[in-house]
């Protein structure tokens, strides 16, 4: 399938058929990040976390997605993975994931290491991309199945003996069907965004995504190999499921109180959103 960018909209061409899909809107995604920030830090078990959860579920429902909630108890705390589903495929679903919780302590902050992380890039940016994808993905996916999964319990890793990706690990353990591919979107709003090829990610999937990024002129996707990252793609890789992590590291404000909305860029969110959108459509 040929993918083109025409007057801001994605064109998928297969034979003589040409379908114009709505374009990913970076400004709309930035507004979605701003709403999350207005709730305050979305730390697991807090009212702001619960409000974010209900807002995500309500947003998916209004956009016509089928909703399921996968819950698990980790260290005595209820975690909720939120899933929007659309379409059906014998090959299994494509999973696009992001975490919606934020880090309870800014342990990399030299001045306020015990303060909560606001979570603009580390949390809100990935959720914003998924919700904007929820708006623009077609209702008829043509024998394709997509799950948008908002993972809980990712960002307390290393604090009070929490493991990384507690929610995603439980989700992967409880799968009743095997996804054909998993893409994690994390920390993708930085105004100076650079996304390297994360070292543990599936190489073939990285090739697919980076090829589309080059075709669309998305220069935030850089060719070098990045560091191996403990993130929500790992539980799937450990179970033999192809998965990649799209993550903009290094990020100067990672796990600090300076991870605020002013660090985000609509252009960065739009680049990532358009590449992921095009990759999903390319797999039809």
pLDDT surpassing 70 at residue 263: yes
Please state, in angstroms and as integers, the Cα–Cα distance from residue 171 to each residue in 61, 165, 174, 281, following that order.
21, 10, 5, 25
Q: Please give the Cα distance from 71 to 268 (Å, whole number).
A: 32
Question: Who's near 32: CB < 8 A, 6+ residues apart?
Answer: 124, 127, 128, 131, 132
The token pair that represents 70 in the structure block: 């996968």
Q: What is the pLDDT of residue 268?
A: 98
The chain-wide mean pLDDT, for the chain, equals: 93
* CA–CA distance, 92 with 87 (Å, rounded to integer): 10
Cβ atoms within 10 Å, residue 51: 15
Question: How would you label 154-182 residue by residue, b for 16+ Cβ within 10 Å and e otherwise?
Answer: bbbeeeeebebbbbbbbbbeebeeebbbb
pLDDT number for residue 23: 93
pLDDT-derived band of residue 19, with 50, 70 and 90 as boundaries? low
3 touches 110 (CB < 8 A): no
pLDDT band at 106 (very low <50, low <70, confident <90, very high): very high
Task: Work out the number of other CB atoms within 10 angstroms of the CB of residue 75.
Answer: 13
Is the full-model pTM beyond 0.75? yes
Q: Calculate the alpha carbon distances from 235 to 114, 154, 231, 280 in Å.
A: 29, 12, 8, 21
**What pLDDT is attached to residue 270?**
98
Which has more pLDDT, 204 or 141?
Answer: 204
pLDDT at 274: 98
Would you state the structure tokens that stand for residue 77, as one six-digit string?
Answer: 């705390």
**Mean pLDDT (whole number) for 66-82:** 97
Percentage of residues in the chain with pLDDT exceeding 70?
93
Q: Which two tokens stand for residue 224?
A: 């070098």
* 35 pLDDT more than 80: yes
Cβ atoms of 141 and 64 closer than 8 Å? no
At residue 4, the pLDDT reads 46
Average pLDDT value for residue range 96-116: 98
Handedness of CA 121, 124, 130, 135 (dihedral sign): negative
- Residues 117-131 have a mean pLDDT of 98
Percent of the chain at pLDDT above 90? 90
So what's the pLDDT on residue 202?
98
Structure confidence at residue 284 (pLDDT)? 82
Return the CATH fold of 24-282.
Aminopeptidase (3.40.630)
Q: What is the mean pLDDT of residues 202-217?
A: 98
Residues 6+ apart with CB under 8 A from 89: 143, 144, 145, 180
Q: 3 pLDDT exceeds 80?
A: no
User: Residue 145, CB half-sphere, CA atoms under 13 Å: how many?
Assistant: 14
| Confidence category of residue 234, pLDDT binned at 50, 70, 90 | very high
């Amino acid at each position: 399938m040929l993918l083109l960018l025409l007057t801001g909209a994605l064109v998928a061409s297969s034979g003589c058929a040409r379908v114009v899909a709505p374009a990913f809107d970076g400004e709309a995604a930035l507004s979605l990040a701003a709403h999350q920030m207005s709730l305050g830090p979305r730390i697991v078990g807090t009212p702001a976390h619960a409000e974010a959860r209900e807002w995500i579920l309500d947003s998916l429902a209004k956009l016509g997605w089928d909703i399921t909630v996968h819950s698990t108890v980790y260290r005595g705390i209820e975690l909720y993975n939120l899933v929007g589903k659309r379409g059906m495929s014998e090959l299994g679903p494509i999973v696009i994931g992001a975490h919606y919780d934020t880090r309870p302590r800014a342990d990399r902050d030299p001045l306020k290491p015990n303060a909560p992380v606001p979570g603009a890039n580390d949390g809100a940016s990935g959720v914003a991309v998924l919700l904007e994808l929820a708006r623009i993905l077609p209702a008829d996916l043509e024998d394709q199945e997509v799950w948008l999964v908002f993972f809980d319990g990712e960002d307390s890793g290393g604090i009070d003996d929490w493991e990384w990706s507690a929610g995603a690990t439980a989700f992967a353990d409880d799968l009743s069907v095997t996804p054909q591919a998993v893409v994690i979107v994390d920390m993708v709003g930085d105004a100076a965004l650079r996304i390297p090829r994360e070292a543990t990610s599936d190489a073939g999937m990285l090739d697919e995504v980076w090829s589309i990024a080059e075709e669309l002129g998305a220069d935030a996707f850089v060719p070098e190999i990045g560091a191996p990252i403990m993130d929500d793609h790992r539980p799937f890789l450990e179970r033999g499921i192809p998965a990649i992590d799209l993550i903009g590291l290094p990020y100067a404000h990672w796990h600090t109180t300076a991870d605020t909305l002013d660090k985000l860029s609509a252009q960065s969110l739009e680049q990532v959103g358009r590449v992921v959108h095009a990759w999903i459509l390319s797999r039809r």
